[in-house]
Amino acid sequence: MTKDLRVNADRMLASFNQLALIGATGDGGVNRPTFSEAHLAARKWFREEIERSGLEFHTDGAGNHSAVLTCERSNAPTLLLGSHLDSVPKGGRFDGALGVMSALEVLRTVKENGIRLKVNLEAMDFTDEEGTHLSLFGSSAISGHMNPEDLKKPYSGRENFTAGLARAGLTEESLFTAKRPKESLAGYLEVHIEQGKRLERRGLNIGIVSAIVGYGSYRMSYIGRADHAGSSAMEDRLDAGQGVAAFILETRQSVLTKFPNCVANVGKLEFAPGASNIVPARADFLLEFRSPNEQQLAELDAALMKLAHAKAEQFGLQLTAEPLGRHTPSLMSDVMQQAFKDACDDVGLSSVVLPSGAIHDAQSLVDVCPVGMIFVPSVNGTSHSPFEITKWEDCVNGANVLLHATLRLGS
Ligand code: GLV
Ligand code: MN
Ligand code: MN
């Protein structure tokens, strides 16, 4: 009988649409950076939605919020499901939210159908997946990977970070209490939008993730000299803007020609003092790069640092480069991939195995418990944008595959 079981698509859509109103940007997107007013409102709404669903609400020292459905067996491990409710600045309404809403809907479906599983189920919203402050923050805390050194250099700066923690009722000490013992977790499953075009192009329903890329990031500065932008000769300038522009262009060439399957991005850049008539004395920027392969990630890191130094020398600049977040590439569990494949067959959906170029909470948990992840198609592959769309039918497909993988693993 459970083969025919499906999530309640109308109920899930109603929840999804309510959530999408929180921090809505008016163009289809949401703006919910971690610990912003909209993010805290989304978390409050999630707590109330859990309680309205008759599920137990749980939170921890890293601010992860979850719905819990306990089974009848004492000391049973927990099968964790989830994703994140924070967004990138002016992001889309599906990234992360779909995974949390799918997870909640699976618990509601299991509960209302009186299905007795051998595991507890928990549907989690992980804190700050997107890295407003620290990427994969909540999932790293749960897995015990939170590093006290990382807390000293959040992307947002110390002041914004500590103010955000205080707004959420958290402390730097409390973060370390979120760690879960390995034996308490039966596994972790996540549904996410693909954020690429592979499924759409091939007309497939579900992507079963084989591995998630590793990444590295740096806070960097070129330091030159402010000068009059009208009266100083071009050849006399120590222009930090020139250095960073050359670095960005050559980074692209280097990745394209020497690092297949890798990417690099300068996603934030500020000149100082910052006026049209002053030669930039400083260029402060954030660099991030990704690779599916550990050794290649290290080689890419070394090549980018060498290039950054070469550009400093060429333009007569000083360079500073402070390492920020770093994560090794992560393999998904064979058992979880098979459970998802079988679940696709149960629901009658097509699937393909593929790697993920985006980072996800799933990768934080790979050395704690078996981890699996699926993608549903993104229209035009667009994501981290208000124009991010996944057809509702595909969203429901993802939730149903999550449901059937959960039933297979938990029975
Ligand atoms: C998260 O969405 C990331 O890949 O940066
Ligand atoms: Mn994202
Ligand atoms: Mn995401």
Mean pLDDT by 10 residues, the chain (411 residues): 91 98 98 98 98 98 98 96 98 98 98 98 98 96 94 94 98 97 98 98 98 97 98 97 98 98 97 98 98 96 98 98 94 98 98 96 97 98 97 98 98 95
Q: Determine the distance separating the centroid of ligand 3 and the alpha carbon of 84, expressed in angstroms.
A: 7
Please indicate whether residue 358, judged by its CB atom, sits closer than 6 Å to ligand 1. yes
Please indicate whether residue 359, judged by its CB atom, sits closer than 6 Å to ligand 1. yes
The pLDDT value given to residue 1: 55
pTM of the entire structure? Answer: 0.92
Phi, psi values for residue 128, rounded to 5°: 50, 55
DSSP string, 40-53: HHHHHHHHHHHHHT
Of residues 129, 131, 113, the one with CA closest to residue 121: 113
The pLDDT value given to residue 325: 86
Torsion of CA 331, 192, 410, 364, to 10 degrees: 40
Please indicate whether residue 130, judged by its CB atom, sits closer than 6 Å to ligand 1. yes
The pLDDT value given to residue 404: 98
Helix, strand, coil percent values for the chain (each to nearest 5): 40, 25, 35
Give the other-Cβ count within 10 Å of 37's Cβ: 12
State the pairing for strand pair 330-331/206-212.
Answer: antiparallel
Structure tokens at 260: 């297949």
Q: Determine the distance separating the centroid of ligand 2 and the alpha carbon of 85, expressed in angstroms.
A: 10
Choice from 126, 289, 360, 382 to test ligand 1 binding pocket (greatest atom count within 8 A of CB)? 360
Q: CA–CA separation, 100 vs 106, rounded Å?
A: 10
The pLDDT value given to residue 364: 97
The pLDDT value given to residue 2: 83
Ligand 1 atom closest to Cα of residue 359: 4
Residue type, 147: N
Burial (Cβ within 10 Å: 0-12, 13-18, ≥19) of residue 181? exposed
State the pairing for strand pair 351-356/214-223.
Answer: unpaired
Q: Determine the distance separating the centroid of ligand 3 and the alpha carbon of 192, expressed in angstroms.
A: 7
Ligand 1 atom closest to Cα of residue 130: 1
Mean pLDDT, rounded, of the chain: 97
Q: Determine the distance separating the centroid of ligand 3 and the alpha carbon of 306, expressed in angstroms.
A: 31
Of residues 326, 47, 43, 40, the one with CA closest to residue 163: 40
Q: Determine the distance separating the centroid of ligand 2 and the alpha carbon of 88, expressed in angstroms.
A: 6
